[in-house]
A and B are shown apart, each in its own frame.
Chain A
Amino acid sequence: MSDAALPHAFQYESARHQARTAIAGMWLFLASEVLFFGVLFLSWIVCRHWNQAGFDAGARQTALAIGTLNTVILITSSAFYTAGVAFIEASNTRRLIQCCALAWVLGLAFLILKFGIEWHEDLARHLFPGPRFAITGELRTGAQLFFVFYFVATALHGLHLLAGLGLVGWIIRRAGRGEFSAQYSTPVAVVGLYWSFVDMVWIVLFPLIYLIGRGP
């Protein structure tokens, strides 16, 4: 497909004009998302400030091993996806599909570890806030609040990751139909921005959940 013949919507001058606009749109959306998660982080830190000992007690109940493994998995999946973007810029569709498939599988592995195993254990150990909450005594208040944040944050992050899996799957399907090339790979880049953003949210969540206050 030659550059001049590339299709574009009628409000744009060229496919290039449209592609750069789409990328600008995704950046702006991510700016909005930063504020969305930013409020969560801010509230988390404010509440931790009022209830430090309780939050620490809560943090010690989290599964550090799974959390660490999940961090590695998510960063690796972003690395694969980014490699895929580089491959399609060299018109290598086969490698793009392979990279996206790996990123997709790793994303799924994160969700299984997080919700299939970690949440399952958390719930079995009565860590969900409520009358049957596991931690009692004076640390109960803060620890419960910690787990409010834990469940809200991981659920929202999980939903974002789920949407990301859908998007990466969509990229794989379109790549399989041979729609992308060095001349046209905008959707690949746009989804890549989103996928990396979901990764970055986790990079903030990881210390908030598992690391801060865990020490002796």
Chain B
Amino acid sequence: MSAAAGAAALSGESYLTDGFSLRSWLLTTDHKRIAILYLASITVFFFIGAAGAALVRYNLIVPEGLIKSAETYNRLFTMHGVVMVWFFLVPAVPVTLGNFIVPLMLGARDLAFPKLNLVSWYLFMLGGAIVLYSLFTGGVDTGWTFYTPLTTQYSKGHVVATVIGIFIAGFSSIATGLNFIVSIHRLRAPGMTWFRMPVFLWSLYATSVILVLATPVLAMTLVLLAFERIFHIGVFDPTLGGDPLLFQHLFWFYSHPAVYIMILPGFGIVSEIVPAFSRKPLFGYTFVVWASIGIAVISFLVWGHHMFVAGTSLFSALVFSILSYMVAVPSAIKVFNWIGTLHKGFIRFDAPMLYALGFIGLFTMGGLTGLFVAALAADVHLTQTYFVVAHFHYVMVGGMVSAFFAGLHYWWPKITGRHYPEMWGRAGALIIFIGFHLTFFPQFILGYLGMPRRYHSYAPEFQVLNVLSSAGTTILAAGYLLPLGYLTWSLLRGERAAPNPWDATGLEWQTPSPPPTENFVATPVVTEEPYAYPRPKPQATS
């Protein structure tokens, strides 16, 4: 087999040329092809979710709302939230870059359970199709949080269908997480000890633990929710003996760790890119690793900070507030370590690095404002305002989406065998950074001044800041459409990529671009620490 694979690699055969039929794609068990299937799917979901956001911002240009109906506006922001959270942010990095890169980084030929991997894509598409069906035939107006008893008793719309779609997509998440954990335990190349693993693997490991252990909590909660919605008697209805706060506890027991499902892979990507473009080993590798694990553990203990004003006891609110502060510690350690890596590095500003630096800045702002809302007294003022909206968009969109683009550009030559156009890439990174700040920074001020979220109209004195925010959205939209254009263009016209165009460490760069179906001609052996970059040589030229 290895001889045949060797011959294939020498003749320029790759996973992309290993079969051209539709069947060879739709029934593939190759992790690289599944990653491509996922990439195409989540791109579609991203632009659907983004369209929802664009319409929300369009509505808010004038105080009385350009879309006159509050009902329609509610359905729009719910569509935006549901699609973005479950069909873009949660799966995005694990199922695309993770699927593609994890086996390559491990020095493995595939994930542990390739068929399960394919099944997870079909589950994802099935769940997505159901959700899109329900959203396009009227949608739901509950917000992505599905709070009871609004969802179960009062809301009009396709609650049950949406919930079923999310339920099914949840099992796709569990399948992916399970596959990663088992693969990282069982399929590391010879010499790849735990502490020689690149941080991307560690962060996906931490992510997968959350995927496997938090997603089933949401799944059962949604089952109980659907039962209550269908039969009008259930667990969360206070008039019938149920407990609506129980829903919030269970929902956030999933959904707060889910925030870390979204951001941890971003940490991993940035930890790959910063050393590669600073030509320095990652500063404090062990700290970054334990910070990832620490975040995964603490993330399960902070859900109560979403319920400070929901009538929980002061004692529990205090405890959750302190625990929420604790999760900032490992996050800050990471930022410190990236900056430590940059220090005295030989820094190159290629597009992946620009996106990664954008991530560090935006995530830091998102993380620090998280402390404001983790503080009990401040949260009472800020909760349910645009301050919270701005905070989590800085983390989710500014942070996570920037990291996703950073990783996509970094591994694009490996995935496609082609280079993206560098100048366009840099322009995209800058436009997204500027557009993002213009969109969301005014929302911090709006929230501080007291503008509540989820209303289709607002007081006239907030108009200037709202117009600024909506103007930023158009720049942001251009920034997101730009990569869609030039990355697609590069598939056909991009310059051919060498196996290791960035001169980076990591096993994924030791195989041709794009890799052969078997990934490696001969199983690689790891003999050194990760990020074994030479000391910087200032006289070298870029």
Contact = CB atoms under 8 A, between A and B. Distances in A.
Is B truly associated with A? yes
Interface of A: 9-12, 17, 20-22, 24-25, 28-29, 31-33, 35-40, 42-43, 46-47, 50-51, 54, 129-130, 141-142, 144-145, 148-149, 152, 156
Contact of A10 (B109, B214, B242): B109
A11 B233 contact: no
Contacts of A38: 217
17 contacts: A11-B114, A17-B186, A20-B186, A21-B182, A21-B187, A25-B116, A32-B178, A39-B216, A40-B220, A43-B246, A47-B235, A47-B243, A47-B246, A50-B241, A50-B243, A144-B241, A148-B235
Contacts of A144: 233, 240-241
B113 interface: yes
Interface string B200-223: 000000000000111111011101
Given A47-B246, A145-B235, 4 more contacts: A11-B111, A31-B212, A39-B250, A152-B227
A188 to B, nearest CB: 18
B233 A130 contact: yes
A34 to B, nearest CB: 8
Contacts of B187: 11-12, 21
Top 9 nearest A-B pairs (CB, nearest first) are A36-B216, A39-B220, A141-B241, A11-B109, A35-B216, A129-B233, A11-B110, A21-B186, A51-B241
Interface string B107-150: 01111111010000000000000000000000000000000000
Contacts of B109: 10-11
A33 B223 CA distance: 14
B182 A33 contact: no
B240 A141 contact: yes
Interface in B309-324: none
B103 interface: yes
B1 interface: yes
B181 interface: yes
Contacts of B76: none
Contacts of A9: 110, 114
A24 B186 contact: yes
B14 to A, nearest CB: 17
A103 to B, nearest CB: 25
B223 A156 contact: yes
B488 to A, nearest CB: 31
A204 to B, nearest CB: 14
A130 B185 CA distance: 49
A118 to B, nearest CB: 19
A21 B108 CA distance: 14
Contact of B181 (A28, A46, A156): A28
A25 B112 contact: yes
Interface of B: 1, 103, 108-114, 116, 174, 178, 181-182, 185-187, 212-217, 219-221, 223-224, 227-228, 231, 233-235, 240-243, 246, 250, 518
Given A129-B231, A142-B241, A144-B233, A37 B178 contact: no
Contact of A130 (B186, B231, B243): B231
A40 B224 CA distance: 8
Contacts of B241: 47, 50-51, 54, 141-142, 144-145
A129 to B, nearest CB: 4
Contacts of B178: 25, 28-29, 32
Contacts of B234: 145, 148
Contacts of B114: 9, 11
Given A24-B186, A50-B243, A142-B241, A39 B221 contact: yes
B524 to A, nearest CB: 14
B219 A36 contact: yes
Nearest to B234: A148
Nearest to A47: B235
Contacts of A141: 240-241
A20 B187 CA distance: 12
Contact of B224 (A37, A43, A130): A43
Contact of A11 (B108, B221, B228): B108
A201 to B, nearest CB: 12
A71 B196 CA distance: 49
Central interface residue in A24, A28, A46, by most chain B CB within 10 Å: A28
A215 to B, nearest CB: 22
Contacts of B181: 28
Nearest to A51: B241
Contacts of A31: 212-213
Contacts of A35: 213-214, 216-217
A13 to B, nearest CB: 9
Contacts of B1: 10
B112 A46 contact: no
A10 B518 contact: yes
B73 to A, nearest CB: 32
Contacts of A20: 186
Nearest to A24: B182
A204 B100 CA distance: 41
A37 B348 CA distance: 51
Contacts of B182: 21, 24-25, 28
